Amino acid sequence: MATVSIIFRRDKINKKNEAPIHFRIIKDRKINYISSGIMLPVENWDEKNHRIKSKHTNSARLNSFLANKFSELQDEVFEHETINKSLTSRGLRDKIYGKKPSDFLSFADEVCEEYLADGKIGTYDKSKSIVAKLKEYLNGRNIFFQDITPEFLTKYEKYLKGTKLNKVNTVHKDFKFIRKIFNDAIRKDVIENIVTPFIKYKLKTEKTTRVYLSEEELSLIENVKTTPGTRLEMHRDMFVFASYVGGLRVSDMLQIKWKHFDGVNINFTIQKTGNQLSIKVPNKALEYIEKYKPTEKNSEAFIFPMLSYDLDFKDLRAVDSAISSATAHINKNLKFLAKKAEIHKHISFHTSRHTWATRALRKGISIDKVSKLMGHSAILQTQIYAKIVNSELDKAMDVFND
């Protein structure tokens, strides 16, 4: 049950030795204040009786005003709480006095800063880019949550496609972030759930083709001749290794050290999700482990030594930059390797992840285990690979139509 009281805010005394009088709502140990609009000298407040002392010139009128407002507030709190017992103290205040428009861009910037504080540099950069595009569209104008309606999103979608030449899935990613801002604002009680435009506005996507290699194509990549000890050789080996070991992301591959390998399993923390994962290294991949084993034992050394040994891992921006640079180099060499292997597919290191997933399902590993080994947060993310494999089986059955 909520309680209402009249409070003299001595914590807000100004230079004139005056403080505001507020109405305080407490519910579930959470406090919210409503201003009475009265500023009062400290010496004129009767703390014991919660009223203005009679020595103040307008004490009678002001005390009458406070008493009436206090009574009205109690009645309104009772009424709203009777209708909706789940309302918070802030919700009660907003129901009674109305909610001020909430600044969307400021809140979006706060969410971005949370990514930065959590060390999610890549997510921070992508999110800031999305916010920057929206700011460019607004051309210096501010915008509140209430202003972002289905109609606004429709116009903004046309701008992104027509002026910025963004593809459907790029627009989808931008709008997913905007939807996340709404969800975070609802969760933090900044806005009400009914404000979100995504109840009516539906996000649109286009089907994308996941590029993966067949067993034969993977073998072709593996057997491309390279000069021993070169980066090209290492990039090829990393790609093949990932195609056997759970489709490890390149950001994880680059940071795996010898201390993460216990002789059987690789045990590490997934950079993207922060989840712990342990993957048994199959025999084929063990050959690469042996190939890159250093002559002198050093548990802090990288298994695939691409990142600088003196990289400061406390400098998250430097780490992200180093990984991005290494990834670009790897992907460039993979295109060269695919050309030499006469594979006519646009491949990148992420292709090894798709390759492992489809191979695993074809070999009979259950989808829940594939999902776990890939570090997916939900099995829904893995089901796309099951659809690919099922599609292949359907095509195979077409031989009976010949």
pLDDT tens across the length of the chain (402 residues) = 778 889 999 988 888 899 989 888 887 777 878 777 788 999 999 999 999 999 988 899 899 989 988 888 888 777 766 656 655 656 656 655 555 557 899 999 999 998 888 888 989 999 999 999 999 999 999 898 888 999 999 999 999 999 999 999 999 999 999 999 999 888 876 776 667 899 889 988 887 778 999 999 999 999 999 999 999 999 999 999 999 999 999 999 999 999 999 999 999 888 887 788 899 999 999 999 999 998 888 999 999 999 988 888 888 899 999 999 999 999 999 999 999 999 999 999 999 999 999 999 888 888 888 888 888 877 777 887 877 777 766 666 665 666
pLDDT at 82: 67
Q: DSSP characters for 87-117? A: --HHHHHHHHH-PPPPBHHHHHHHHHHHHHH
Cβ count within 10 A of residue 169 = 13
**104-199 and 215-401 share one CATH topology?**
no
pLDDT at 196: 85
For 18, counting Cβ atoms within 10 Å of its Cβ (0-12 exposed, 13-18 middle, 19+ buried), the class is middle
3-state DSSP assignment of residue 162:
helix
- Which residues contact residue 256 at a Cβ distance below 8 angstroms, ignoring those fewer than 6 apart? 248, 266, 268, 302, 303, 304
104-199 CATH pick, 3.20.20.70, 1.10.150.130, 1.10.10.10, 3.90.1300.10: 1.10.150.130
Cβ count within 10 A of residue 177 = 19
Q: Is the dihedral of CA 323, 327, 333, 338 positive or negative?
A: positive
For the chain, give the number of residues.
402
pLDDT at 39: 87
* Beta-bridge partners for 45: 52
Of 82, 112, 114, 95, whose CA–CA distance to 192 is shortest?
A: 95
Delimit the domains of the chain by residue range: 3-97, 104-199, 215-401
Instruction: State the pairing for strand pair 3-8/18-27.
Output: antiparallel
pLDDT at 236: 97
pLDDT at 2: 77
Q: What's the CA gap between 354 and 208, in Å, rounded?
A: 13
pLDDT at 179: 95
Of 240, 309, 252, whose CA–CA distance to 279 is shortest?
A: 252
pLDDT at 290: 93
215-401 CATH pick, 1.10.443.10, 1.10.260.40, 3.40.50.2000, 1.10.3720.10: 1.10.443.10
